Each structure stands twice: as structure tokens, then as C-alpha cells.
Amino acid sequence: MIKVYGSVYSRACMVMCVLETLGLEYEIIPHLPKGTEIKEDAYLAMNPAGKVPTLIDGELVLWETQAILFYLAEKYGQGELWGNTPEEVADIYRWSLFVSNQLELFALDLFLQHKFVKEEDRDAAIIDRANNELDRFMPILETHLDGKEFVSGGKLTVADIHGATILSWAKLVGYNYKRFPNVDAWIKRQIKSEAQQKVNAKA
């Protein structure tokens, strides 16, 4: 059976959400981002970065969230969550990579600063840069999602599960999405999706 190392409260939730959407059975091997197991030799032999998630599927040992999501959709989706042509697949890559390259670090910085750093110790420079970079690139997504439910190909894909989950981190700590109602609605759809609810129930 497919194994997922990680926790619901980590990037592994995106892997679980894809597995739930595709109706695949899987086992969670609980490993917390702040736990010690991910720095032990046995785990580092699978994932030298010492991070979660890691996926095991038969002989395959795979780490890096997006690589795992793309692999699962391509291998098991039969078109679901994935594209049918090189052009459709490229579009999924484009939007998923846009979020990871232009927005992920800044959504994470906001989340970490507000969630784990005492108010008096927060780094204003990190917070300002994060807000500025999110404000800079969010309008691209906002315009693209106008009149659309999904970011690519007119159907749910891994780019929605990945992108909307990443951007939900900033929402959790109060980033002002009122200025970006299409993105806000996109994030809410992901958070409330049946697959995400099933993942949350495993926490």
C-alpha cells in the first residue's frame, strides 16, 4: 500500500488530499515537521532533506511535494487531476510552479511569523517583504481566476490542491484576501472540499 510520511499539519496534507480525491488507499506514517524522526538516519536515507512529505509506492521513494502530486496524478489519475495533452500538463506545471516560485515562501513567512513568533519578536522586514511580494503577484492569480472555479483546464487539478493549500497559510494568519475575492473563493473551495475534510478527519 502507498505510504505517506508526514502529518496532516504539514505539506503532506496535499499528498493526502490527492490520494483521497483519487480514491487510493494509503497509510500515514506519522512524522511531524518539528519531530526528531525526520532527522534520523533511517528517514534521511529515504529523504536526505530531512523534511516531510515522503511517499513510498512500491519500489519508488519520492520526496518534494509537487513531484509527488504530479506523480500520483499522472500515474493514477487517468485524466483526473491531470492534463491529457502536453499543453494541458504544461499549464498545470505553470500555475503550480508560479505559486511555489513566486508566493510559497512569502505565504510561509507570514504564517511562521504570526503563528510561532511572539508579537514583540516578529521581524517587521520579513513581514513587510512577504506582504509586498504577495501583493505583487496575487493580482495575476486574481485576474486569471475571474469567472473560473479552477486554475487550469476548467477542471480540478493538482494545481488547485497545491496552490490553494499553500495560499491558505497566509489566510490563516489574516493576510487580506478581501482585495482578491477570486483567490479567496478558490482557497475556500479547497479548504472545504470533501477530500480535504477526509484528510482533516485523520488528524
Ligand X SMILES: N[C@@H](CCC(=O)N[C@@H](CS)C(=O)NCC(=O)O)C(=O)O
Is residue 113 within the footprint of ligand X (CB under 6 A)? Answer: no
The reply on whether position 183 binds ligand X by CB under 6 A is: no
Query: What size, in residues, is the chain?
Result: 203
| Phi, psi at 147, each rounded to 5° | 75, 10
Whole-angstrom CA distances from 157 to 17, 24, 88 are 11, 16, 10
Asked if 51 is part of the footprint of ligand X (rule: CB under 6 A), the reply reads yes
Q: Which of 33, 76, 112, 129 lies at the binding interface for ligand X (CB under 6 A)?
A: 33
162 binds ligand X (CB under 6 A): no
User: Nearer to ligand X by C-beta: 8 or 24?
Assistant: 8
- Choose which of 65, 165, 193, 196 interacts with ligand X (CB under 6 A): 65
| Residue in 4, 5, 11, 187 binding ligand X, rule: CB under 6 A | 11
Task: Name the residue nearer to ligand X (CB basis): 11 or 184.
Answer: 11
- Which residue do the cell numbers 505559486 mark? 99
Phi, psi at 144, each rounded to 5°:
-60, -35
Applying CB under 6 A, among 46, 61, 64, 126 the residue interacting with ligand X is: 64
* Element of type H or E holding 147: none
Question: Applying CB under 6 A, does 52 fall inside the site for ligand X?
Answer: yes
Q: What are phi and psi of 174, to 5 degrees?
A: 90, 15
Residue 141's nearest CA partner among 88, 198, 95, 176 is 95
91 counts as binding ligand X under rule CB under 6 A: no
- Confirm if 24 and 77 have CB atoms less than 8 A apart: no
Binding residues (CB under 6 A) for ligand X: these are 10-11, 33, 38, 50-52, 64-65
